[in-house]
Amino acid sequence: MHRIAIALFALVCASAFAAEQKPSLPQWFPAPGKLFKVDDLKYTDYDYWDFLELDESPIPKNSGGYRPVAGRIWKFGMDDPSPDAWMGLRSQLEKQGFKMAYGDRTDTSPGMASLQKGEGDHATYIEYWNHNKIAIIEIAPNPFHLTLEPPADKPEKIGAHGDIPYLAPIPGSKMTYAMNDRPGGITVSPACGKPDGDKVPDENFGTRRTQRTYDGPQSLSAYATQEAYESALRAAGWDQVCQLSGIGAVDAHYTRNGRDIWAQLRQNGEPWHYDLTVADAGSALREDLKKGCKAALYGVNFDFDKATLRPDSEPALNQVLALMKDEPKLAVEIGGHTDNVGKPEYNAKLSDARAASVVQWLVQHGIAASRLASHGYGDTQPLVPNDSDENRAKNRRVELKRKGCK
């Protein structure tokens, strides 16, 4: 028994030591020898790289184009390099079968150069820049796989420090922060799945959010995390999944099974730190109305400068419809609210017409008109100061208010 305990302890120590070991260069890469010392070596199991290569068009020598590649990546600096460090290293790599993809072969110290060996899924790339920086890229698939369960028919109970049931972490991650049911929803970029998104202000969804922050494996990149979640969310049936500009950012929307949930992935500081945030619009609507007289409803969208409901409003409207059917005695006023952009008189008129459109939609879907009223408040009742795009998004809303409630 004593020997078994010692063996197990040794195994645990060995595993811990292996996990903490510093990254090393691939075995095939030439030893630096007297050419240079390796400085600040970083390694990721899967990341993105813009590989510099000569363009096929007739362009001046030493100009080129970039081709996106992804795989295992090593990055380091050549510390204390000899005068012929790059030329010596390049010569050794060419003996291994690497060929120049970009750079002047006669220049002994080019500012930028790149080499390639193999093609397609079996390619390896090396890039050199700033006279002392080197990156090695081995094409490989993303090793960080993720399977997500779709949200259930009814809102899930999320423990104070438990994972979000339908938004699990990358395997091997450790939770470092948990926030539950915090007031304030999710602000979503309009570019996510919408044409001409850059011309539309940001939109706010939900009134409460739950967040988890994780430390993933240190060989995890923001790009690998982004790709893993984008693929897993689509497979789990999320309706609108898109990457945002930059690395490590995904927005997603789930509208099946009567749910209306927004989810976000955001890279947080170091590439292996990431946040997962959800806003369950349907659950928050019921909870807010239960605890108070009124509840904000986001996701009800209209054509620009009109009171015509857009098709993407249905998930949010269906939450109101389900609530009204579940509580037959509930009577509400539908209030329309805007930000402070535009003239107050015009905002009041437009918000009144939009609130009336919501009432009309509910009546057309079986709710008695006697249970509904509408009123446009324009920009007279902001929730927050109209001093930022994010705050203006919070103030643009439809609001439900219990009749007779003060």
pLDDT, tens digit, 9 for 90 and up, residues 354-378 = 999 999 999 999 999 999 999 999 9
List Cα–Cα distances, 146 to 116, 161, 169, in angstroms. Answer: 31, 20, 8
285-311 residue pLDDT tens: 888 888 888 999 888 988 888 999 999
Please tell me the class of the 292-402 domain: alpha beta
Specify the pLDDT at position 58.
Answer: 38
- Per-residue pLDDT reduced to its tens digit, 160-186: 999 999 999 999 999 999 999 898 888
| CB of 123 closer than 8 Å to CB of 70 | no
d(CA 63, CA 248): 30
Mean pLDDT of 275-281: 94
Residue 10's pLDDT is 39
Distance CA 212, CA 181 (A): 11
Q: What is the pLDDT of residues 35-67, one digit of tens each?
A: 999 999 999 999 999 998 765 433 344 445 788
Q: How confident is the model at residue 393 (pLDDT cuts 50, 70, 90)?
A: confident
Spatial CB neighbours of 195, under 8 Å, sequence gap ≥ 6: none
The pLDDT score that the predictor gives to residue 9 is 35
Packed helices 281-291 and 314-326: angle between N→C axes, nearest 10 degrees: 40
Where residue 16 falls among pLDDT bands split at 50, 70, 90?
very low
Report the pLDDT value the prediction gives residue 13, as an integer from 0 to 100: 38
CB-based contact 34:76 (threshold 8 Å): no
Q: In whole angstroms, give the CA distance from residue 104 to residue 125.
A: 17
| Per-residue pLDDT at 203 | 77
- Exposed (0-12), middle (13-18) or buried (19+): which is 8, by Cβ within 10 Å? exposed
Q: What is the pLDDT of residues 84-126, one digit of tens each?
A: 899 999 999 999 999 988 886 555 555 788 999 999 999 999 9
| Averaged pLDDT score across all residues of the chain | 86
**Does residue 6 have a pLDDT over 60?**
no
Q: Average pLDDT of 245-269? A: 89
The confidence band for 245, taking pLDDT boundaries of 50, 70 and 90, is: low
Per-residue pLDDT, averaged over 24-34, amounts to: 95
In contact, 171 and 180? CB cutoff 8 Å:
no
Residue 195: predicted pLDDT: 54
Q: How far is residue 14 from each of residues 2, 9, 217, measured CA to CA in Å?
A: 18, 8, 17
What's the pLDDT score for residue 301?
Answer: 87
Residues facing 214 on adjacent strands: 175, 274
Q: What is the pLDDT of residue 206?
A: 85
Residue 200 burial (CB < 10 Å; 0-12/13-18/19+)?
middle
Whole-number pLDDT of residue 209: 94
Count CB-CB contacts under 10 A for residue 194: 18
Residues 354, 302: contact at Cβ < 8 Å? yes
Q: Is the pLDDT of residue 313 over 80?
A: yes
Residue 361 in tokens: 């939609």
Q: What percent of the chain has pLDDT over 70?
A: 86
Cβ neighbours of 258 (radius 10 Å): 14
Numbered ranges of CATH 3.30.1330.60 in the chain: 292-402
Question: Where does the pLDDT of residue 194 fall: very low under 50, low under 70, confident under 90, or very high at 90 and above?
Answer: low
User: Residue 131: is its pLDDT beyond 60?
Assistant: yes
Choose the weakest-confidence range: 14-23, 27-36, 177-186, 210-219: 14-23
Contacts of 211 (CB under 8 A, 6+ apart): 177, 178, 179, 182, 275, 276, 277, 278
